[in-house]
Structure 1
Amino acid sequence: MSEGEKFSASDFIYGLVVPVIVGLLIVAWKVYLPSALLGIDPSYTLNAILVDGFLEALMVIAIPMFFGLLWNKWAGGAAGFLLGSLYAVYWAVQYVSFGVDPTDVSLLGYIVSAMLIGYIAGALSKGSFSFKRMVISGIIAAIVAWAFYVAAGLLSTIPGTIESLDPYTVFITLTPRVLYGIIIPVIVKVFYWYGVIPRKA
């Protein structure tokens, strides 16, 4: 075998072992964590934050913003559209099981907000890896996407969605998005330092 055809130990570690471990952690997160959290907090608050909330944060906030900042606005927007759509389908299925209209406008909020957060973050950063610019872009994208998410919730006819913009609702819906607007640029910066970028800087 030529040099390029030989497998190294790092190939197996990063190409096989690490992905398998990550896959197992994801499955364990969904299978075992909810019941463990219910034992600690029967009110389901911890589950709402660490299981349902974390899933939403990843799919409609973090990953689209990550691709927008690391790659470009089109990658961010596309990632947001795809992941937002998947998350909306997930909730549509939940709505059906609850006997609720699966075409409610609140589902559109997931798609539009995810698409916008990825696109705007990428469009405002314009490929720059300046931490300050990425943070500003991320926070602005987060706020705009939040506005669309909230608007869809306010227009929803389903009880239990966003019913008013009281301070508590604003805090629990906007704060995570703004935090990700700061956290994701840190992650992107680390990727940039290690040269793990899908484009030339």
Structure 2
Amino acid sequence: MDLDWKQWNRGDIVYGIGVPVIVVLLIVAISQLSNLLGGGFEGLSGLVIGITMEIQELVLIAVVPLLLGLVWNQWAGGASGFLMGSLYALYWADSFRSPFAGAYQGSGTVLLAYLLSAMLIGYVAGALNKHSNDFRRMLISGVVATTIGGIMLFWVFQLSPANVVTGTDGFLLTVLSRTACGALIPIIAKVFAWYGIAMNKSQVV
């Protein structure tokens, strides 16, 4: 159905303008929490920085590829993983080469790990789910894809002398955080599927 310029409703304002603006404001507020808490990497400020950086990493190189792989296909998941992984690798490439960080030997392997893990998560999720809207299949596909991606990420990290993610704690943080995403994101994917089906039915009617 083609809409003309007069056909607006309250949902357009709420979901088209209000919600996106609120999300942007929340992101900005979270980014400023460390400054409000005094800055630095110690105490509560350091905890906030650590949590926000972990969320940033998971969203870019786990959540986005996984979601597109589940709701679309393995090619969309893999391609988005390549793009998101590349952006995250570029971010850390600049950090590795900053005058404060020095030149880390082996940092290229760490950056490659981010890229490959994101591609793997998106592709495996799409290849296993195969366009299915069944929640249990989405859940299994998501958990398997993110767990494999997390294990591969941790393993490639160990090949680099620049790696600081080691030991049992490092393994659990790397893998379990992604497995948790694999268990949660299928819920969002299912909502997307329901919304798409409802929209298609309304268009038919």
TM-score, shorter chain, exceeding 0.5: yes
The DSSP-based 3-state class of the residue aligned with 1:195 is: helix
Which runs of structure 2 are paired with 1:23-42 in the superposition (5 Å)? 23-30=24-31, 32-36=32-36, 41-42=43-44
Offset at residue 147 of structure 1 (A): 2.4
Task: Show CA shifts across 1:157-200 (max 9, x none).
Answer: 21x5234xx32222111111111111001111122222279999
Stretches of structure 1 lacking an aligned partner (at least 5 in a row): none
Which runs of structure 2 are paired with 1:116-155 in the superposition (5 Å)? 116-155=120-159
1:5 is aligned to 5
Which runs of structure 2 are paired with 1:32-111 in the superposition (5 Å)? 32-36=32-36, 41-42=43-44, 44-48=46-50, 50-97=51-98, 98-101=101-104, 104-111=108-115
* Shift in alpha-carbon separation, 1:172–1:199, aligned structure 2, 3 A: farther
Distance 1:3 1:144 in 2: 45
Cα RMSD after superposing both structures: 2.6
Offset at residue 38 of structure 1 (A): 5.8
Distance 1:3 1:116 in 2: 40
Distance 1:55 1:196 in 2: 31
Q: Structure 1 stretches (4+) deviating beyond 3 angstroms? A: 36-40, 196-200
Which residue identity is paired with 2:55?
F
Q: TM-score scaled by structure 1?
A: 0.85
Amino-acid identity (%): 41
Task: Show CA shifts across 1:22-65 (max 9, x none).
Answer: 222222221x22234567925723421x2100000100111110
Which residue identity is paired with 1:21?
I
2:116 is aligned to 112
Distance 1:36 1:133 in 2: 43
Offset at residue 108 of structure 1 (A): 0.6
Distance 1:36 1:192 in 2: 40
Stretches of structure 2 lacking an aligned partner (at least 5 in a row): none
Q: TM-score scaled by structure 2?
A: 0.84
Distance 1:18 1:129 in 2: 26
The number of equivalent residue pairs is 194
Task: Show CA shifts across 1:114-154 (max 9, x none).
Answer: 01101100110001111111111111111221122112211
* Shift in alpha-carbon separation, 1:72–1:198, aligned structure 2, 3 A: farther
